[in-house]
């Protein structure tokens, strides 16, 4: 991914945040660099249309505000409203990170004064979150959560504010930088998709094979509270799109009995996308899950109380994120909170529906086994492909696909959110979103094609990708046929697909080999003349709806 710059705009001195954040970004080899626009720059730079920040349209903006903005004579809300209005009118839109606000409790008459400041902060924060919901390029950075967790005594020191106009102390600046680092990382790195958990002394207290069903603990009482809290956290992850799985060295029948019947167990068999109970190496168990779920192992996170099992998985599967188990199980939820693996800048509708989509996939597999031919299976699915011209409302989900999709991805080129949004505005480009459904349900927005050369004699597909959930249902063939027919209707002569071979997109290469397209010698361009010859392209069994193109 190309280098990206974030300009930090603040009401106070934040040089310590800038230094710490740049250091972390370099160590993590992320593409971001950070530049501080200077003391009290947040309004000065943005309200002047000729300022350096306004002219530097290729940079993202980060508003890092202290609680002091709440104490301005007119309050923060009028200034925030004016600032959001400026951001909303910027063309093209660019990525904006904006800290929410918290009230500093240090002051005279703390009972009444702090209540007023908290109310003012709540008003501003409600405005920020409503704005973020409306604009996919706008992200709220949770300073209020950081202050609640760490306390303002650990974030601020009046001595530094008095001498250098630094609200955040050196120690506090590092904490703030840590938070901003997580947000920037989430904007660049795809989140993990699967959490695999052990059972004994992980999902519940005790060892099933030794303590029996009645002896394991996961109630709300003292002995089981930590494990019950973990189960509640796992349900939250599942509700937000993370797939749950079990890898346990236990008797499979006993595991199913506990998950299905134990009165204190919050998680039931249907909450897991895979349950593996047996006695082999856990790395092999994870490999089988990855194959069954059609996901890369770098999408997996592993949680196990056994140091031996953690080391076995680390050694055999370095792609998997292995969480270090806390000394006390009370720290399990904190361990999940502190891992970056599941960080996302925002949660999409498709994220929340992911777990149910894998249940539907299991039903499709069962139908596939009963079908006598592939054609019978495809026809029985009742496949529907809805194609739509991508707009701002779709930008988050489609950009997420660009970052996450590896197997069926013709180039695996990662573009920034700002670059992707600029594609949506170009008259010579067509960004096609794809929504796939069948009789088992709607798989959601699971495909994308970026087409250049609209209006010319050659359409060039810069990238074409599909989620692993819909690969192999002839959807890919349907899209190629549709695009060739559309190009022919526009009097174009060729459709070309760019291809870049990587270690992970062999599925895309397999598709090209049987696509009916011809390739150049280096196989970096694949093309079809339009209109295509009869039977030049493989058959598909998909009904296409392109009314929103």
Domains of the chain: 4-188 (3.40.50.1110), 194-338 (3.40.50.1000), 349-548 (3.40.630.30)
Residue 71 is given by DSSP the state G
What span, in angstroms and rounded, lies between the C-alpha atoms of 368 and 442?
A: 18
Dist. CA 389–CA 430, nearest whole Å: 7
Environment class of residue 513 by beta-carbon count within 10 Å: exposed (0-12), middle (13-18) or buried (19+)? exposed
**CA angle, 164 then 167 then 170, to 5°:** 75
How would you label 106-121 residue by residue, b for 16+ Cβ within 10 Å and e otherwise? eeeeeeeeeeebbebb
Residue 267 burial (C-beta neighbours within 10 Å; 0-12, 13-18, 19+): buried
Q: Is 536 exposed, middle or buried (0-12, 13-18, 19+ CB in 10 A)?
A: middle
d(CA 419, CA 405): 18
- C-alpha pair distances (Å), 65 with each of 41, 68, 467: 10, 8, 39
Contacts of 299 (CB under 8 A, 6+ apart): 190, 192, 193, 194, 290
Contacts of 195 (CB under 8 A, 6+ apart): 234, 237, 242, 243, 244, 245, 300, 301, 303, 342
Q: What is the token pair recorded at 539? A: 């058959």
Cα–Cα distance for residue pair 168/259, rounded to 1 Å = 47
In degrees, to the nearest 5, what angle opens at C-alpha 394 toward C-alphas 340 and 185?
20
Say which DSSP state 115 is in. H
DSSP per-residue string spanning 186-238: HHHSPPP-EEEE--BTTTBBS-HHHHHHHH-B-SSSTTTHHHHHHHHHHHHHH
CB 486 within 8 A of CB 430: no
Q: What pTM was computed for the model?
A: 0.81
Residues 6+ apart with CB under 8 A from 171: 154, 155
As given in the structure block, the two tokens for residue 529 are: 């003349």
* The pair of three-digit structure tokens given for residue 274, joined into one six-digit string: 């895979």
Residue with tokens 């069954």: 292
Residues 6+ apart with CB under 8 A from 68: 11, 12, 104, 167
Q: Which of 12, 276, 268 is nearest to 164 (CA)?
A: 12
User: From the first residue on, what is the mean pLDDT of each consecutive set of 10 residues in the chain (549 residues)?
Assistant: 89 97 97 96 95 93 97 92 95 92 88 87 97 93 97 95 96 98 95 96 95 92 93 96 95 95 95 93 96 90 97 97 97 96 88 76 83 92 96 86 91 89 92 94 92 96 92 94 96 96 92 94 92 90 96
Distance of CA 455 to CAs 252, 307, 428, 431, 488, Å? 60, 60, 7, 14, 11
Buried b (16+ CB within 10 A) or exposed e, 58-95: ebbbbbbbbbebbeeeebbeebbeebbeebeeeeebbb
DSSP assignments along 25-63, one per residue: HHHTT-SEEEEE--TTHHHHTTS-TTSHHHH-TTSEEEE
496 CB contacts (<8 Å, ≥6 apart)? Answer: 458, 459, 460, 461, 525, 526, 527
Report residue 371: phi and psi, to 5°. -70, 145
């Amino acid at each position: 991914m190309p280098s990206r710059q974030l300009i930090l705009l603040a009401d106070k001195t934040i040089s310590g945040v800038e230094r710490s954040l740049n250091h972390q970004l370099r160590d993590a080899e992320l593409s971001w660099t950070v530049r501080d626009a200077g003391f009290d720059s947040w309004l000065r730079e943005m309200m002047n249309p000729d300022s350096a920040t306004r002219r530097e349209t290729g940079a993202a903006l980060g508003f890092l505000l202290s609680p002091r903005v709440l104490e301005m004579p007119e309050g923060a809300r009028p200034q925030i409203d004016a600032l959001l209005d400026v951001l909303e009118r910027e063309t093209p839109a660019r990525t904006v990170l904006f800290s929410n606000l918290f009230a500093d409790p240090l002051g005279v008459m703390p009972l009444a004064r702090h209540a007023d400041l908290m109310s003012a902060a709540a008003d501003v924060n409600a405005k920020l979150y409503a704005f973020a919901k409306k604009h996919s390029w706008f992200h709220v950075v949770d300073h209020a959560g950081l202050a609640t967790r760490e306390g303002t005594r650990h974030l601020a020191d009046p001595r530094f504010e008095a001498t250098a106009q630094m609200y955040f102390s050196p120690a506090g600046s590092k904490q703030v930088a840590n938070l901003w680092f997580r947000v920037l990382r989430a904007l660049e790195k795809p989140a993990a998709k699967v959490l695999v958990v052990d059972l004994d002394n992980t999902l519940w207290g005790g060892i099933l094979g030794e303590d029996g069903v009645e002896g394991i603990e996961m109630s709300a009482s003292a002995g089981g509270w930590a494990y019950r809290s973990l189960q509640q956290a796992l349900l939250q992850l599942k509700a937000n799109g993370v797939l749950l799985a079990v890898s346990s060295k236990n008797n499979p029948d006993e595991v199913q009995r506990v998950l299905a019947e134990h009165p204190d167990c919050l998680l039931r068999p249907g909450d897991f996308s895979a349950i593996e109970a047996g006695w082999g190496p856990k790395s092999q168990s994870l490999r089988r899950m990855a194959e069954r779920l059609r996901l890369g192992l770098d999408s997996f996170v592993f949680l196990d109380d056994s140091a031996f099992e953690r080391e076995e998985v680390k050694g055999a599967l370095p792609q998997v994120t292995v969480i270090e188990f806390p000394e006390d199980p009370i720290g399990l939820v904190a361990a999940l909170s502190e891992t970056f693996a599941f960080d996302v800048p925002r949660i999409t509708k498709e994220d929340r529906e992911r777990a149910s989509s894998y249940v539907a996939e299991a039903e499709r597999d069962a139908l596939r086994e009963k079908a006598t031919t592939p054609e019978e299976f495809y026809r029985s699915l009742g496949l529907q492909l809805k194609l739509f011209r991508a707009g701002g409302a779709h930008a988050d989900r489609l950009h997420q696909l660009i970052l996450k999709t590896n197997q069926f991805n013709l180039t695996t080129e990662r573009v920034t959110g700002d670059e992707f949004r600029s594609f949506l505005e170009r008259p010579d480009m067509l960004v096609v979103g794809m929504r796939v459904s069948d009789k088992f349900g709607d798989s959601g927005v699971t495909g994308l094609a970026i087409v250049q050369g609209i209006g010319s004699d050659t359409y060039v597909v810069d990238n074409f990708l599909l989620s692993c959930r819909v690969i192999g249902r002839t959807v890919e063939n349907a899209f190629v046929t549709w695009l060739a027919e559309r190009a022919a209707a526009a009097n174009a002569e060729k459709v070309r697909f760019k291809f870049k071979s990587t270690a992970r997109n062999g599925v895309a290469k397999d598709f090209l080999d049987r696509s009916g397209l011809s390739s150049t010698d280096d196989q970096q361009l694949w093309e079809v003349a339009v209109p295509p010859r009869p039977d030049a392209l493989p058959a598909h069994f998909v009904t296409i709806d392109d009314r929103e193109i």
